Copies of this chain bind each other. A is one copy, B any other.
Amino acid sequence: MRTDDGIAAIPVPGAQFLVEIREQPSAVLRLLEHEHEFARVAAAAVARGASTVRMVGHGSSDNASSFGVYAFGLLPHWTALRDSIALTVYYGADLDLRGSLVLGLSQSGRTPDVVEYVDRARRGGAFTVAITNDPSSDLATAAEAVLPLGAGPERAVAATKTYVNQLAALGLLAAYAAGEGPRFADGLRATADQLAALIPALEPRVPPIAAPFAYVGRMFVVGRGAELATAREIALKLLETCRVAAEPLTATGLAHGPVAALDAMFPVWVIASHDPALPAVVDAAERTLATGAVLLASGSAAETLPGVEYALPVPRARSALHAPLLSIVPGQLFAAALARARGLDADHPRGLTKVTLAR
């Protein structure tokens, strides 16, 4: 990086990560420039008789797929699953994939087993679609159709705008499949406006809330329904940028064992949104408080939870399927602030590269 006068600038650790968090409102709008492509692919999926959606991806892409379960379930009433890649790629299982819409999610379009899964699924009769930032990638080539993410170059290793655009892409595709595309797209435009107001307002509020967690070793991040994706993605940001052992759990899963591990040194972050699944989250919050663990909450209902020590609320979204685009922001900003407090470089987590070529 060079300044205008040609002198090499000293890179500030985590600066790129923050820049990309701030770019999210415009990234969502860039995705919407491709709205007609989403309409076309959705129409093709409907014409092909798709009613099962198989999503494949790792890391943030897999987290976004958790949201896809709800987007396709609630809009076209299709069954969407985070499919097992291993079943096809390693075991060679002979599943009948006609009637399946396969969505390969990869920022780079280079994740090896995702490319291989899509290649096999296409030969098996599925309608395959690549959702990627790189329309010339292996993944895009392997798939029958490509939906560009339009997030623009993402340089920080930990994904931010790519994740938000994956949510937007899955929601938009599901909405067009249900004949509700234009209305969902309007909601995304409104969400981009909300993001543009939220991010600068929240940014200065987060570091003092992150500071007390400077030495935390373990956390749970709890969500349910459409916000389970948010819990998974916040946990991943904390793992990769802050080196916190942050585990995502469903609100109900917390009670089925993991709650026994909690104590005052093991805080819990709950995603509390005004959403039909909120009662399960409230139940999880109460079980957390009973252990003496500290409760941190984000989401539009963060301040309504009892016993919350730290709240990072976000505005109410247009719908339960727009909410996760807002709910993720406190987690991203918290990860940026906590990484800085711990002396870590969120742009370059140790041992990671932007493109992961793991088997």
Are the C-beta atoms of A87 and B59 separated by less than 8 Å? Answer: no
Q: A10-18, A128-136, A303-311, A349-357: which lies at the B interface?
A: A349-357
Q: A24-32, A198-206, A277-285, A294-302: which lies at the B interface?
A: A277-285
Chain B residues near A262 (CB-CB < 8 A): 351
Report A117-162 residues with CB < 8 Å from chain B CB.
158
Report A328-359 residues with CB < 8 Å from chain B CB.
349-352, 356, 358-359
- Render A30-67 as a binary contact track against B, CB cut-off 8 A, 1 for contact: 00000000000000000000011000001110100000
Chain B residues near A225 (CB-CB < 8 A): 84, 86-87, 90-91
Q: A1-9, A165-173, A181-189, A240-248: which lies at the B interface?
A: A240-248
Chain B residues near A351 (CB-CB < 8 A): 259-260, 262, 287, 290-291
Are the C-beta atoms of A51 and B91 separated by less than 8 Å? Answer: no
Are the C-beta atoms of B218 and A239 separated by less than 8 Å? Answer: no
Q: How far is the CB of A156 from chain B (nearest CB, A)?
A: 12
Copies per assembly? 2
Are the C-beta atoms of B257 and A245 separated by less than 8 Å? Answer: no
- Render A64-97 as a binary contact track against B, CB cut-off 8 A, 1 for contact: 0000011001100111010011110011111110
Q: How far is the CB of A171 from chain B (nearest CB, A)?
A: 15
Given A58-B252, A84-B73, A260 and B283 contact (CB-CB distance below 8 Å): no
Are the C-beta atoms of A91 and B245 separated by less than 8 Å? Answer: no
- Render A259-279 as a binary contact track against B, CB cut-off 8 A, 1 for contact: 111110010000000001101
Are the C-beta atoms of B239 and A258 separated by less than 8 Å? Answer: yes
Are the C-beta atoms of A245 and B217 separated by less than 8 Å? Answer: yes
Are the C-beta atoms of A86 and B224 separated by less than 8 Å? Answer: yes
Q: List 14 A-B contacts (CB under 8 A).
A: A52-B79, A59-B253, A69-B84, A70-B91, A74-B87, A86-B224, A86-B276, A113-B252, A243-B261, A244-B261, A247-B247, A259-B351, A260-B350, A290-B351
Are the C-beta atoms of A87 and B58 separated by less than 8 Å? Answer: no
Given A245-B218, A290-B351, A359-B252, A90 and B277 contact (CB-CB distance below 8 Å): yes
Q: Does A255 contact B (CB under 8 A)?
A: yes
Q: How far is the CA of A69 from the CA of B87 in the complex (A)?
A: 8
Are the C-beta atoms of A280 and B236 separated by less than 8 Å? Answer: no
Are the C-beta atoms of A358 and B256 separated by less than 8 Å? Answer: yes
Q: Does A320 contact B (CB under 8 A)?
A: yes
